[in-house]
Structure formats: structure tokens, C-alpha cells
């Protein structure tokens, strides 16, 4: 009986630690997302695919430019924020089930 109580308390402490960790990760990634999006500038060429705009040398090598790296960091940060928020709520539910 005592062992199950100790295991439940230790399990809830672990779940609480994971909740705090994922919450902090979610806050940091959301702040990073705001900063990265503010650093980006609008291209204005979003309609070029519809109107038949041609690709240039720089549009084919976008990942190597600063704007391309910002877009890549945006996608990575969004994925990190999504994953940390899902895990935060999963561990919160598991913590409340005990």
C-alpha cells in the first residue's frame, strides 16, 4: 500500500516537472516565433504563381539567403511550439487524472 502511494507521488512529481518544462518551452518558442516573424519582410511576390511570374536565380536558392533561413526557423519554431503545447496538455491531463 505504501509503495503504491510513493509511486503515485513520484509519478505526479514527474508529470508536474514535465508540465513545467513543456510550458517553459512553449513560452520560449512563442516569443521566438514573434521575433522571427517580425524580422521577416513581405516579399510582395505571392501572386506571381497565379499571374505567371518567372523564377529567378535567387528564388531557386532561397534557403541559402537570410530570408530563406528565417522561413526555415519559422517552420522549426512552429513545430516546436506545436509539439510542446500538445505534450504540455497531455501531461496536464495525466497529472489531473491521478
CA distance 97 to 54: 57
For residue 18, the model assigns a pLDDT of: 86
Percent of the chain past pLDDT 70, that is, above it, reads 67
Per-residue pLDDT tens over the stretch 87-96: 999 988 888 8
Specify the pLDDT at position 48.
Answer: 55
pLDDT digits (tens, 9 = 90+) for 57-80: 555 556 678 888 898 999 999 999
Distance CA 44, CA 55 (A): 14
- pLDDT of 55 over the 60 cut: no
Return d(Cα 19, Cα 21) in angstroms, integer: 5
The band of 98, judged by pLDDT with boundaries at 50, 70 and 90, is low
Say which residue, 72 or 48, is predicted with more confidence.
72
Amino acid at each position: 500500500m505504501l509503495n503504491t502511494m510513493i509511486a503515485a507521488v513520484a509519478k505526479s512529481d514527474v508529470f508536474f516537472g514535465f508540465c513545467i518544462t513543456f510550458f517553459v518551452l512553449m513560452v520560449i518558442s512563442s516569443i521566438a516565433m514573434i521575433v522571427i516573424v517580425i524580422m521577416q519582410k513581405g516579399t510582395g511576390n505571392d501572386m506571381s504563381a497565379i499571374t505567371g511570374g518567372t523564377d529567378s536565380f535567387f528564388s531557386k536558392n532561397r534557403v541559402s539567403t537570410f530570408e530563406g533561413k528565417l522561413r526555415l526557423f519559422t517552420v522549426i519554431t512552429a513545430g516546436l511550439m506545436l509539439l510542446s503545447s500538445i505534450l504540455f496538455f497531455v501531461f496536464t491531463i495525466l497529472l489531473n487524472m491521478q
